[in-house]
Amino acid sequence: MRCGIIDTKGQKMFNVNEEKMLKFFTEREGQGIRNDIRNLDLQAEGILDSLDMVELAIFIQNEFGKKVDLSDAKTLAALENFDSLMQLIEA
């Protein structure tokens, strides 16, 4: 579920699962990524490389109890942007 609500500072708010997922990215990239995360190609921008994808898969399994198959082409495609990543987790 996406949240289109904007807080009093003009920033988009995220639902509980999105906040959990943002933790992974903000620990690596800093808080500034919150503003642009929905518009980024995470792989093309170099935010997710192959090692990061393995770490992300472990993070998702630990935080969401969902196993991520990195050998699946559809899964790899879902890791390109934040919204498709969240759809993968919430499916």
pLDDT tens per residue across span 20-73: 999 999 999 999 999 999 999 999 999 999 999 999 999 999 999 999 999 999
| pLDDT confidence of residue 8 | 46
| Interior/surface letters 34-66, b for 16+ CB within 10 angstroms, e for the rest | beebeebebbeeebbeeebbeebbebbeeeeee
| The model's pTM | 0.82
Does domain 16-90 fall under CATH 3.30.70? My reply is no
Is residue 13 predicted with pLDDT exceeding 90?
no
Nearest alpha carbon to residue 78 among 70, 62, 28: 70
